[in-house]
């Protein structure tokens, strides 16, 4: 069977298929030991199994002279240098669609946590404080002006959910989608000004890095809420933290961060943020479907068939 280097985990069901069908190798857990391991074991490895968050780490492609395919267990490919892959004729696959609903669900959950403060409400019950008094009032999440940055698969799934919240929906996106009937904004500042909640669902790239900057954050304003389920790199995290601390932004719901798994202490201490550890796609059902798609892409490639979900 073809030899694969696996640097990111798969759900246990597809993992069993991968292990049965391929010669799956794992590099040392200690990063310092990896260069020597790659020098000794890199030749002959034809496939790489990675995650959206890890992508293809710097220097790895050079250490894998026989690499022919990179299968990402995730939809995002911002950590893969596609030009370098094309130059070496290395194919790349990802896992779109199967995770769309889960990620959109989490976006709504983070919004609700920001407005209804469910973690605080739950602590009130668990800590036995309820008999001593009521929790402070929260804020209404329905009927607001919702803005979506990036109306692709996930952005549209967020919009479908929001259509039940009785407010208005506007968006900004590289591709206009007039048939969906949402108001289009040319600039992010204009969209943010017209939004109470701004959802970030844009694909990360050099072009979208820090796209949500101080100006956009301030346009959202002291009562506005930013929800990011895309990538930390899309938002200027330092500007976000400052605005949340100074009250220039009302709140934020964050599943993704600039330097995962490190979340700045300043953000972790703020009361007006809802935080999650990059769990947008982290359900049994979706992770099993993502892993199955990873294995199917590899099977297709090594079987001489078309990739199911090609990036390159
Ligand atoms: C995970 C994601 O990072 O799909 C993506 O782009 O961000 C996530 O689903 C991850 O790749 C799961 O392994």
- Say what percent of the chain tops pLDDT 70: 100
Specify the pLDDT at position 217.
98
CATH superfamily ID and name for 100-275: NAD(P)-binding Rossmann-like Domain (3.40.50.720)
Question: CATH number of the domain at 3-96+284-302, out of 3.40.50.720, 3.40.30.10, 3.30.70.1290, 2.60.40.2580?
Answer: 3.40.50.720
Helix axes 100-116, 284-302, angle to 10 degrees: 150
230 C-alpha to center of ligand 1: Å? Answer: 10
Instruction: Decide if 185 is catalytic.
Output: no
Q: In 10 A of CB 145, how many CB atoms?
A: 17
**Dihedral of alpha carbons 213, 222, 240, 276, sign:** negative
Closest protein CA for atom 13 of ligand 1: 51
Specify the pLDDT at position 196.
99
β-sheet bridge partners, residue 184: 171
Ligand 1, closest atom to CA 51?
11
pTM beyond 0.90 = yes
Closest protein CA for atom 6 of ligand 1: 76
Q: In 10 A of CB 164, how many CB atoms?
A: 9
Ranges for all domains in the chain classified under CATH 3.40.50.720: 3-96+284-302, 100-275
Residues 181-208: pLDDT tens digits? 999 999 999 999 999 999 999 999 999 9
CA–CA dist 51, 53 (Å, integer): 5
Residues 231-255: pLDDT tens digits? 999 999 999 999 999 999 999 999 9
Instruction: Please state, rounded to an integer, the average pLDDT across all residues of the chain.
Output: 97
Full 3-state SS string of 223-286: CCEEEECCCHHHECHHHHHHHHHHCCCCEEEECCCCECCECCHHHHHCCCEEECCCCCCCCHHH
SS3 46: strand
Do 119 and 169 meet the contact criterion of CB atoms below 8 Å apart?
A: no
SS3 51: strand
Residues 76-122: pLDDT tens digits? 999 999 999 999 999 999 999 999 999 999 999 999 999 999 999 99
136 C-alpha to center of ligand 1: Å? Answer: 36
Average pLDDT over residues 203-222: 97
Q: 231, 237, 287, 296: which is the annotated catalytic residue?
A: 231
The ipTM value here is: 0.96
Ligand 1 pocket, residues with Cβ under 6 angstroms: 8, 51-53, 73-76, 99, 278, 281
Specify the pLDDT at position 23.
98
Half-sphere exposure of 106 toward its Cβ, with a 13 Å CA cutoff?
Answer: 25
Specify the pLDDT at position 77.
98
Which of 157, 133, 151, 160 lies closest to 188 in space, CA to CA?
151
Provide CB contacts within 8 A for 181, sequence distance 6+: none
């Amino acid at each position: 069977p073809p030899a694969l280097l696996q640097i990111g985990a798969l759900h246990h069901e597809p993992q069993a298929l991968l292990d049965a069908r391929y010669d799956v190798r794992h590099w040392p857990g200690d990063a310092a030991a990896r260069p020597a391991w790659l020098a000794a074991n890199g030749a002959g490895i034809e496939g790489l199994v990675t995650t959206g968050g890890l992508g293809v780490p710097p220097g790895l492609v050079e250490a894998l002279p026989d690499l022919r395919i990179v299968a990402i267990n995730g939809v995002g490919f911002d950590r893969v240098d596609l030009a370098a892959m094309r130059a070496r004729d290395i194919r790349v696959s990802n896992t779109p669609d199967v995770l769309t609903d889960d990620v959109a669900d989490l976006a709504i959950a983070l919004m609700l946590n920001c407005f209804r403060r469910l973690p605080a409400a739950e602590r009130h019950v668990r800590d036995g404080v309820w008999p001593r008094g009521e929790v402070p009032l929260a804020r209404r999440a329905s009927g607001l002006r919702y803005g979506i940055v990036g109306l692709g698969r996930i952005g549209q799934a967020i919009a479908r959910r929001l259509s039940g919240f009785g407010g208005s929906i506007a968006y900004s996106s590289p591709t206009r989608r007039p048939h969906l009937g949402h108001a289009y904004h040319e600039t992010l500042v204009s969209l943010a000004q017209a939004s109470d909640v701004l959802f970030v669902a844009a694909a990360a790239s050099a072009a979208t890095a820090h796209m949500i900057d101080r100006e956009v954050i301030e346009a959202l304003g002291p009562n506005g809420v930013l929800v990011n389920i895309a990538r930390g790199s899309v938002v200027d995290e330092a500007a976000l933290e400052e605005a949340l601390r100074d009250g220039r932004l009302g709140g934020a719901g964050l599943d993704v961060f600039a330097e995962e798994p490190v979340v700045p202490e300043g953000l972790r201490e703020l009361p007006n943020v809802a935080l999650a550890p990059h769990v947008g796609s982290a359900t049994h059902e979706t992770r099993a479907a993502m892993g199955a798609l990873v294995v199917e892409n590899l099977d297709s490639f090594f079987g001489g068939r078309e990739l199911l979900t090609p990036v390159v």
